[in-house]
Amino acid sequence: MAFFRKRSQIGRDRLSTETMTKGARLITAAEPKNPVSEQFRTLRTNIEFASVAKGDVKTLLISSALPSEGKSTITANLAVACAQQGKKVLLVDADLRRPTVAVTFGITDNHGLTNYLADANSDIQAIIHKTSMDKLDVVTSGPVPPNPAELLGSGRMTTLISELRAHYDLVIFDVPPFLMVTDAQVLMSKMDGVAIVVSADKTTKGALQRTNDILKIAGSPVLGFIYNDMNRKKKGSAGYGYGYGYGYGDTKAK
Ligand SMILES: Nc1ncnc2c1ncn2[C@@H]1O[C@H](COP(=O)(O)OP(=O)(O)OP(=O)(O)O)[C@@H](O)[C@H]1O
Ligand SMILES: [Mg+2]
């Protein structure tokens, strides 16, 4: 399939650090009328539809096979789109290795998820940060720990998730790519729903096959795939400097 890149091309890309240093571009907040924001609203609706079959999806994890496929950009904009709809939303930065949420939302207090998980006496309220949006709170990652997968797989993380479920309509988790480290796989079993970002530019056929195998073996509650066309800028169709094309389930929504 021409859509996928050859295996030999993988690894030639540098890891993108843009969202870690400058934050994700929150087009849904800055330009709600932009067609890209409309696509995030479509994604929101598609997730709602996919949720119907799975029951009430309150915890949603978004991952991808490989690095830099757009996970953090998508989770942040989806969280904003859901909050704009009036839902009480929490975005959790569970990418303890390459965090972005604090920078994206301008949170300067570095108290976050790792502080809570590493200290049995810490309080949940201390890691929940308000944003400029009424309905959207975030949990930042906190200091980078030596043992991310162990922390995310802990009983304390399970307890935290059930507490958060009780207080929010939707809790969205941004996590590392799951073919690279086990963090996402460890968390998947604790989620109501999982969505996988597929990048036109980066995802290889082999990576997607391995992804499918892992998801099946783990029995993950997969809601669908999110198609991210990061190449639109080159095609010049967005006219905005960058563009998104999202699909859900088996089809592309472009
Ligand atoms: N649709 C898009 N069009 C153009 N650029 C995009 C698109 N989606 C993401 N990007 C850019 O790609 C880079 C990587 O995005 P992002 O950090 O969201 O990916 P990620 O999957 O979270 O990466 P990581 O694996 O490091 O967590 C960023 O510079 C981001 O702005
Ligand atoms: Mg990321």
Question: Is 32 within the bounds of a domain?
Answer: no
Predicted confidence band at 161 (pLDDT cuts at 50, 70, 90)? very high
Q: What is the pLDDT of residue 11?
A: 44
Total number of domains in the chain: 1
| Helix (H/G/I), strand (E/B), else coil: 172 | strand
Question: Is 46 within the bounds of a domain?
Answer: no
Question: Is 72 within the bounds of a domain?
Answer: yes
Q: Which residues line ligand 1 (CB under 6 A)?
A: 16, 18-19, 24-25, 64, 67-73, 95, 98, 177, 228-230, 233, 242-244
Q: What is the pLDDT of residue 14?
A: 63
Residue closest by Cα to atom 12 of ligand 1 = 70
pLDDT at 4 over 70: no
Question: Is 254 within the bounds of a domain?
Answer: no
Taking the C-alpha atoms of residue 184 and residue 66, their distance in angstroms, rounded to an integer, is 12
97: nearest Cα among 41, 144, 142, 132: 144
Element of type H or E holding 38: helix 35-54
Amino acid at site 151: L
Q: What is the pLDDT of residue 201?
A: 77
Predicted confidence band at 232 (pLDDT cuts at 50, 70, 90)? low
In this structure, what token pair is assigned to residue 43? 């994604």
Question: Is 134 within the bounds of a domain?
Answer: yes
- Residue by residue, DSSP assigns 66-105 as STTSSHHHHHHHHHHHHHHTT--EEEEE--SSS--HHHHT
Closest atom of ligand 1 to CA, residue 20:
17
Residue 71 C-alpha to ligand 2 middle, in angstroms?
Answer: 5
Question: Is 200 within the bounds of a domain?
Answer: yes
CB atoms within 10 A of CB 34: 16
Residue 69 C-alpha to ligand 1 middle, in angstroms?
Answer: 5
- How far, rounded to the nearest angstrom, does the alpha carbon of residue 211 sit from its chain's CA centroid? 16
At residue 28, φ and ψ (nearest 5 deg) are: -65, -30
Segment 161-182 mean pLDDT? 95
Question: Is 247 within the bounds of a domain?
Answer: no
Locate tokens 């930065």: which residue? 93
| Helix (H/G/I), strand (E/B), else coil: 160 | helix
Closest atom of ligand 1 to CA, residue 95:
27
CATH number at residue 161: 3.40.50.300
- Residue-wise pLDDT tens digits, 8-29: 444 445 678 999 999 999 999 9
3-state SS, 46-64, equals HHHHHHHHHCCCCEEEEEE
Residue 6 C-alpha to ligand 2 middle, in angstroms?
Answer: 23
Domain that holds residue 213: 7-27+58-224
pLDDT at 48 over 50: yes
Burial zone of 170 (CB within 10 Å; 0-12 exposed, 13-18 middle, 19+ buried): buried
Predicted confidence band at 157 (pLDDT cuts at 50, 70, 90)? very high
At residue 48, φ and ψ (nearest 5 deg) are: -60, -45
Q: Are 140 and 113 in contact (CB under 8 A)?
A: yes
Residue 70 C-alpha to ligand 1 middle, in angstroms?
Answer: 3
Closest atom of ligand 1 to CA, residue 25:
31
Taking the C-alpha atoms of residue 171 and residue 90, their distance in angstroms, rounded to an integer, is 5
Question: Is 220 within the bounds of a domain?
Answer: yes
pLDDT at 193 over 90: yes
